[in-house]
Amino acid sequence: MSTTIQSKLRETVKQSTLTDLRNDGFVPAVVYGYQTDAVSIAVNERELLNTLRVTGRNGVMKLQLEDGELNVVLNEYQKDPLKNQITHADFLAINMSEELEISVQVHLTGESIGEKDGGVLQQPNWELDIKVKPSDIPDSLEIDISELNIGDTLTVADVRKKIKYEILNDDDFGLVSISAPRTNEELEALDEVTEDASTEPEVIGEKEAEEK
């Protein structure tokens, strides 16, 4: 399957025009970056999705413009969760011979010792920023959590030397923690707080009016 996406120029930003584009199966987009000014374009949504299935979320694809072809990555996109529709896309034009900074999803592997003992896994951050050549961009970064116990945390400092890419995040950037399970007393207290919050507050003057 081809990894080239066709595009057409988009000369207006009127909301009605953007709506018409989306209704016709197109995604309003912009391309910027290496050797190009910011250009407003539109791409076919189905073609974009089919290309992403081949390249992956962070993969390099070719974007065909009226005056030539660019190597790009999908830098950002917006999606309508109700319609399951991409509503806007940002393409970053890149130099294939130079490293770029990109966010890559963190994929946890294994089951921690702490989870087996009843602990609760928390993942505060789902992506890491790395510096890498376009041809070497990974789909995700795998991090093994099988040795974590209750009370353990995992930060960038713990995995920096285990990942072959240059990580740009600070050492204290949190990735995973295993907390102790809540006790019955804590769960009961939480239920009481929830019940109190759901109780309808008394309106001033309402009770007096009822008594009269």
Q: By three-state DSSP, how is residue 164 classified?
A: coil
The pLDDT value given to residue 171: 97
DSSP 105-160: EEEEES--HHHHTT-EEE-S--EEEEEE-GGG--SEEEEE-TT--TT-EEEHHHHG
The Cα–Cα gap between 62 and 121 comes to 39
> Over the chain (212 residues), what is each successive 10-residue block's mean pLDDT?
84 77 92 93 94 90 92 93 92 94 94 94 96 92 96 97 95 96 72 62 50 50
Q: What is the pLDDT of residue 209?
A: 47
Confidence at residue 77, expressed as pLDDT on a 0 to 100 scale: 93
Q: How far apart are CA 119 and CA 182, in angstroms?
A: 9
- The structural domains of the chain, ordered by start, are 4-95 (2.40.240.10), 101-190 (2.170.120.20)
Looking at residue 188, its pLDDT comes to 73
